[in-house]
Amino acid sequence: MTEAKKLYVKTYGCQMNVYDSERMAETLGVQGYIQVDTAEAADMILLNTCHIREKAAEKLYSDLGRLKPLHDEKPDLKIGVAGCVAQAEGGEIMRRMPIVDLVVGPQTYHRLPAMMEALDRGETALDTEFPEEDKFAHLPKGRGTHKGPTAFLTVQEGCDKFCSFCVVPYTRGAEVSRPADRLLREARDLVERGVREITLLGQNVNAYHGAGSDGAEWGLARLVRDLARIDGLDRIRYTTSHPNDMEDDLIAAHGDCAKLMPYLHLPVQSGSDRILKAMNRKHTADSYLRVIERLRAARPDLVLSGDFIVGFPGESESDFQATLDLVRSVGYGSAYTFKYSPRPGTPAAERAQVDAAEADDRLQRLQALITEQQRATQAAMVGRTVQVLFEKPGRMTGQVTGKSDYLHAVHVDGPETLIGSVAPVEIVATNTNSLAGRLVARG
């Protein structure tokens, strides 16, 4: 019997990449690869990369540099680069780093089996097309390698919005939505494998407009409502959504669909209308705040999160103050803050840049405000009973941890048999990035 070939996958970037990594591992699984946890143990290494900021993209090259000695030791070791850097840089990666044998973009990884055959013939393989065919239709049907009670499910890919700072429309291509019946099938398969919570993914997930099972076009709200009818699926989330695609029926679903969790990541980027215009966001601070108002009217306890860029070209101190004002009026449960990073090929990269020290200072001031809001949101949970989906053993023996409805990490003293189930927990204390709770006896 020949020994199974071993695959090590490293994932950078967003949840979409996490999903893609899982699907690539499944595809290579059909080719006889099993996954291992270290690069040293592998016959094939796949780096699934992110191009969103300069630092993210550079990580690929520092990791490839670190893999060089391993490659020298094991000349048969195959190294592949997937994801958004692969799409953006293509064959340049192999020229810069000759240890790379394979480069595959986010829209062509269903062709990995044929590409692996090329490697077996001693060739290299490069495919960064945006093909006509639907890659999902060519991937293995079942989600055989998925483990754990939570899963991602990509429902929409790509972006047509072209914010002036962002590479995603170039690395992921145009907006495409998957047909609802395939998504329902994939969701049922995941639930049969023990999944209790599904997070629907898309670069603009609420721009979902897919062919419905009834022949009509469905928006995200209709998809969520149909998924909610799957027995055994307890929780639905979605990310990342765009404020301009927050349609009435989706807002309504937050109020009347019990399985849709009360947490929403809704990036705004800036609180200054001048900067939002320069970013080509096509919304104002006020229109964003009105969307939040409507969401909160539907679901008063909704916890919000966001993304912010500071130091965007042309941002003045008063523009930045407008961002702080917006953050104060929303009151976020958490948020991601980024310093603007000029990206090749995007319009904003050509503009005069904000002084780096000034941008660092703004980043710190914004982070301080967000940390304060995060603490306040967590402190307000103390004394409340929340529902926790337990995912894994805790750091201390005898503990288990999971996520609350509001996506807070919660740990309790309790048996590992809780993993995979939802149970009521009374929150007793708040730590820096998690909550401590006590299991509530069910009446």
Tokens standing for residue 184: 């329902």
Per rule CB under 6 A, is residue 84 in the interface with ligand F3S? yes
Q: What are phi and psi of 253, to 5 degrees?
A: -60, -30
Per rule CB under 6 A, is residue 24 in the interface with ligand F3S? no
Is residue 403 within 8 A of residue 410, CB to CB? The reply is yes
Per rule CB under 6 A, is residue 254 in the interface with ligand F3S? no
Q: Return d(Cα 265, Cα 39) in angstroms, integer.
A: 33
Is 257 annotated among the ligand-binding residues? Answer: no
Is residue 79 within 8 A of residue 100, CB to CB? The reply is yes
Q: Return d(Cα 4, Cα 78) in angstroms, integer.
A: 15
Closest separation in Å from C-beta 74 to ligand SF4 = 38
Where along the sequence are the contacts to ligand SAH (CB under 6 A)? 52-53, 165-166, 168, 203-204, 240, 242, 267, 269, 307, 309, 338, 340-341, 343
Residue number closest to ligand F3S, CB atom? 13
Per rule CB under 6 A, is residue 242 in the interface with ligand F3S? no
Which one of 29-37, 165-173, 361-369, 379-387 is the stretch in contact with ligand F3S (CB under 6 A)? 165-173
Q: Return d(Cα 12, Cα 25) in angstroms, integer.
A: 15
The dihedral through the CA atoms of 51, 113, 180, 226 has a sign that is negative
**Cα end-to-end span (Å), the chain:** 55
Per rule CB under 6 A, is residue 171 in the interface with ligand F3S? yes
The residue among 312 and 320 lying less far from ligand F3S, judged by its C-beta, is 312
- Residue 169 interacts with which of ligand SF4, ligand F3S, ligand SAH, none, CB < 5 to 8 Å by class: ligand SF4
Amino acid at 239: T
The residue among 45 and 285 lying less far from ligand F3S, judged by its C-beta, is 45
- Residue 403 interacts with which of ligand SF4, ligand SAH, ligand F3S, none, CB < 5 to 8 Å by class: none
Residues 214-273 that bind ligand SF4 (CB under 6 A): 242
How do strand 409-413 and strand 399-404 relate by DSSP bridges?
Answer: antiparallel
Residue 145 preceded by cis peptide, ω within 30: no
Is residue 47 within 8 A of residue 80, CB to CB? The reply is yes
Cite the annotated binding site for [4Fe-4S] cluster by residue number: 14, 50, 84, 159, 163, 166
Which residues sit at the interface with ligand F3S, rule CB under 6 A?
13-14, 16-17, 50-52, 83-84, 167-168, 171-172, 203
